[in-house]
Structure 1
């Protein structure tokens, strides 16, 4: 894709799931990435594996809790020192606290701190670096859960709805700087966390989940997504191929929200 080769991206949550798939795709397209992730083991292993495959030091890792502004400032500074600047940001880090009205104050604060404020802080501190380069591209990971009602998902869905509208507001505020801001809204993705949940709580493997009317059956294509399928949409929006797209909430959900 045009506009990825040689560019520098920060990918929060980039050591696992969708974030890792995004990081791998950026490197495959010739870009460089700083992984900002709270999991030290996953971060180090991801860097070793991706750099080994790429044959070059295309990826670095910085342990980061995106809800901590000082940690966000640190990872932005480290990116500039390691790679020379920042062109792109992918806000993928999230916590998955699925609670209804019984949610505690602590649960609300944690999910809002990471899923909403964490994305806002990363944009706040990455944008000045993008301005020095005259342009930039930001992709926030939202969710179909931000556009629909789901039982017992009040906490999570509220934060993802906030991300969807926050994306539009950021796009409006940053358009004059040549910085595009979009969001990708995935359907159900078969990543490690979802695999563990479906096996432990529901006793299902992927084939069973895909054929279940309330899981894969909720999607027109009759299955869950691979992380790489979401990453392809993210990197498209980062790239110059999407140069006329901003303020968009792109559904990558196999038709879930159209049904």
Structure 2
């Protein structure tokens, strides 16, 4: 990448950027999509539930952001689903400046479920990240610019009992992100790994009321907290890479 004519000190401008967010219809993905659209980015959100997708797009419309957001329902555990979302990105965005890999399925340990269940979780949570990244890099590299954000989890380090299948995918994302940065930074593409602690989302087993109380008690983050961290990483100037961010609730002592 030739940086001679670029201002290395100016914060990146999100206005007009083409952003794809997987798992963009609930929780962290939805909060991030709304915040980026408010900042002028053109956002393509990907979800696996038509109801969640419609609800998010309706919220965007009510906020006057409908021109900034498009959605697609796709299965990221399949090669066809991943090809489908990038065909859509080429159609509606015309470019992919930013990929936010966020889609994930919850799972417990090896005594929970069967081979097909584990296969689907691993394909969605890990292989989906790898495949989407490959497709995105193909579109970013010719421009010499781009940013991959991988949303992981504290589980990659804590490795808590009772969630070994989920932990395996999040540990995989951590390793993938670290090696990926060494592979694509010379092409002008940044890589950021976000590893949140407990976040109030629909993946949490606790009821919404209990999650809200935990947030008030400083024991749980909000999806908006993580969205703000993602935007912080994206807005850094060209010379600055936010390689990894670990966010924990103040009173989540790990």
**TM-score over 0.5 for the pair:** yes
Distance 2:28 2:192 in 1: 16
Cα shift at 1:3: 2.4
1:74 equivalenced with 2:79 (yes/no): no
Question: Which residues of structure 1 form unaligned runs of 5+?
Answer: 217-221
SS at match of 1:192: coil
Aligned residue number for residue 183 of structure 1: 193
SS at match of 1:54: coil
Cα RMSD of the aligned pairs, angstroms, is 2.2
Alpha-carbon deviations, 1:180-207, whole Å to 9, x = none? 111100111112342xx2139xxx7235
Deviates more, 1:141-150 or 1:53-62: 53-62
Q: Indicate conservation of the 8 Å contact 1:138/1:238, yes or no.
A: no
Aligned residue number for residue 199 of structure 1: 207
What number of residue pairs does the alignment pair up? Answer: 244
1:171 equivalenced with 2:181 (yes/no): yes
Cα shift at 1:131: 1.7
TM-score, normalized by length of structure 1? 0.86
Question: Which residues of structure 2 form unaligned runs of 5+?
Answer: 1-10
Q: Indicate conservation of the 8 Å contact 2:15/2:39, yes or no.
A: yes
Aligned residue number for residue 121 of structure 1: 131
Q: Indicate conservation of the 8 Å contact 2:220/2:252, yes or no.
A: no
Q: Indicate conservation of the 8 Å contact 1:66/1:121, yes or no.
A: no
Distance 2:70 2:122 in 1: 27
TM-score, normalized by length of structure 2? 0.88
Question: Structure 1 residues 208, 63: CA separation in 2 closer, same or farther (over 3 Å shift)?
Answer: closer
Aligned pairs (5 A) from 1:1-259? 2-100=12-110, 104-194=114-204, 197-199=205-207, 205-206=210-211, 209=214, 222-241=218-237, 243-245=239-241, 248-254=243-249, 259=254
SS at match of 1:205: helix
Cα shift at 1:128: 1.1
Alpha-carbon deviations, 1:100-121, whole Å to 9, x = none? 4565322321211111101001
Structure 1 segments, 4+ long, off by >2 Å, are: 100-108, 206-211, 238-243, 254-259
Question: Structure 1 residues 210, 59: CA separation in 2 closer, same or farther (over 3 Å shift)?
Answer: closer
